[in-house]
Chain A
């Protein structure tokens, strides 16, 4: 079933996929049992001459147990699913790592602007560099994105990373990821943001460490490129 998913390239994506798989197998079994019972009863108890329907009201506890016991099992499995999913959620959304490489993201109808601090390593200074629809990060490094929107709600979505986060105009929202596999990945907007919504397409480029250094040199040739990397 997971083969339908885009390839996972992030450190936490596998955990999300694992929770999906867990739920898939749990509800899959329930689904087959319930559909099986339904189809079996429809076939088995179709009208036949000389056989009357049973008079069962399901009010006595001994009868109702056929419904209540499975319902209690459902409840127990629900808590199991929560126990598996909760820590994954917390890791992805609650705990943004310290000392991550930071990129500011400013979304607008219908473009992604990725803002790098430039050689001085400081945001909101004269040498900030803004790239349109191009996000470049090194592989194997925690990256923090600070998400802002100029106009309406957009949603920052990198399918291969399993990261999605709405961006609300008027506030800054922090999100993070750690991409492990170099390559170029699409970065769509997942929240309806106007007529150009379908075409709000950015790219995440994941470089190997060396290649990222080279890319920095190309962007900011004069200065010490390493300054763009905050000390970790």
Chain B
């Protein structure tokens, strides 16, 4: 790294710092400290996960035993079923995965990993949390307005979503649009903060190619989100106008076109998949080298692949629309770009597997979740090829094959990656260790039950089973698949109950867990260079970075790890390659 770059990377002196807060409200509620805000996001995301999990329970029960009362609830009516599938998707993508992976861990870790005292814009950061908090309240409120919550699917396809006459839902759909618009603006504020902090507030010596991959993934996710969300915000405003002001952007009767909504939605929707997926990958990429005691394999290849996948994600949106009525000649070009994305992801996945080669692997809970995520994501990855092929998509589109595929991409990256992150960084966040026995119990139930829920759904999808069908017994050709639904539902209930060990562990360890050392996993990245939990403004003195983030088992070194901030040999990839 050149002297100029080092000087540039030195944090600005104190103008964006803030003194330690004194009052309760400033310290714990309206805090501007990125660590507190990160925990607030975590609490919000985990609470919404419970709501989202309950909607999953109602959906699965209804599918398995359509004509029975759901235990702990009542009968699910067809319109309420549509509300459940709509809200399940909305909550899980926008109010669970994003708050936990970007909100909680992005906020908590980016300043720590780059050696900064806080985010670049602490007040904007506080505002981003309270905006998504408001968005969550609006979304929850929509359950209680007359007509109930939104029921037009999580993709909100017009005209179904554009006029209450089609669903019977009026205010619920308006509040759904409002909640999403608020949520998007929250993450715009967050994205600006992530980018600015990671670019401008890096510790001396921390060049871009010494950044932990987690930071790279968060930066890429932030850029993807910021570039893609604009069209959808515009779409949301247009949809709201169609509903309330009598415009006809998406309504053919008033001169509009329903396809416009789909283009705006999926132009955002596909990059959004990577917004959710990349931070989960980032967590896995941090964890694998630490517990393999090896450098990450192909750091630069992973960075370039991430950027390539991000760029490609902007030219694939129409693969959600192969059979939507777009010009049929568009399908093959979009099919080619879609399938091309398998190449950067193959490089990432192969690099993760290669990181294990020749390692000295240990298996505490974070590593189990990281490996579990890797093993299951492979299924999500390869099944994407079927759907990326336009010809096969003719049959598979809107069937349970799609449902199984996207759960196999987002559950491993977002949820298993999120769990890995919780177990790995909990000591840093709360200064206590999580219990390993409960953690392993949680892992094994989760991984087995998850596979038992969603592998069978691939088969159901091959049988031609449509999504969002309230009562599958209506169709003769679906009836033979009913036992599979029953099996998947039982597994889903086990999966939900399997989260109890995590909840117990989380709160029990908060009070009674073993005190965590500053660097309990013997890791190299900067967040472990401060106390657990870190003090206000993170570091007693601004750390200086001497080398890459993953120097494990360096020959000639006394220990098998060599933290980034410890003086010693300044290693560069090129030198070692020589």
Contact = CB atoms under 8 A, between A and B. Distances in A.
A211 interface: no
Nearest to B476: A186
Contacts of A75: 340, 343
Contacts of A42: 356, 361, 371
Interface string B166-183: 111000000000000000
Contacts of B324: 166, 168
B358 A169 contact: no
Contact of B351 (A67, A90, A188, A201): A67
Interface stretch (A26-34, A135-143, A218-226): A26-34
Contacts of A54: 294, 357-359, 553
A71 interface: yes
Interface stretch (A98-106, A112-120, A124-132, A156-164): A156-164
A165 interface: yes
A82 B258 contact: no
Interface in B443-469: 459, 462-464, 466-469
A38 B356 contact: yes
A47 B350 contact: no
Interface residues of B, number: 101
B459 to A, nearest CB: 5
A196 to B, nearest CB: 7
A134 interface: no
B9 to A, nearest CB: 22
Nearest to A70: B350
Contact of A195 (B151, B295, B353): B151
Contacts of A5: 395, 462-464
Contact of B470 (A31, A85, A164, A197): A197
A86 to B, nearest CB: 5
B394 A92 contact: yes
A57 B253 CA distance: 61
A145 interface: no
Contacts of B340: 75, 78
A192 B385 contact: no
B267 interface: no
A85 B387 CA distance: 11
Interface string A143-182: 0000000011101010110111111111101000000000
Given A38-B374, A92-B394, A197 B325 contact: no
A44 to B, nearest CB: 9
Contact of A173 (B325, B329, B471, B576): B325
Nearest to B463: A4
Contacts of A86: 332, 335, 390-391
A30 B325 contact: no
Given A169-B258, A188-B466, A47 B362 contact: yes
Interface stretch (B113-121, B153-161, B417-425, B485-493): B153-161
Interface in B496-544: none
Interface stretch (B33-41, B189-197, B298-306): B298-306
B384 to A, nearest CB: 9
Contacts of A155: 323, 398
B397 A85 contact: no
B334 to A, nearest CB: 11
B259 A152 contact: no
Contacts of B152: 192
B323 A166 contact: yes
A192 B466 CA distance: 9
Given A6-B464, A192-B152, A153 B335 contact: no
B392 A152 contact: no
Given A16-B395, A201-B475, 4 more contacts: A4-B462, A59-B300, A192-B157, A197-B470
24 contacts: A6-B464, A20-B386, A20-B395, A27-B385, A41-B361, A45-B357, A53-B292, A53-B294, A56-B357, A58-B355, A67-B354, A71-B343, A75-B343, A82-B335, A82-B389, A89-B331, A93-B328, A151-B166, A162-B395, A171-B325, A191-B398, A192-B468, A197-B469, A201-B475
Interface of B: 77-79, 81-82, 85, 151-153, 157, 159-160, 166-168, 252-253, 257-259, 292-301, 323-325, 328-329, 331-332, 335-336, 339-340, 342-343, 346-347, 349-351, 353-363, 371, 374-375, 378-379, 382-383, 385-386, 389-392, 394-395, 397-399, 459, 462-464, 466-472, 474-477, 550, 552-555, 560, 573, 576-577
| 3 closest cross-chain pairs (CB), A and B | A170-B252, A54-B358, A58-B297
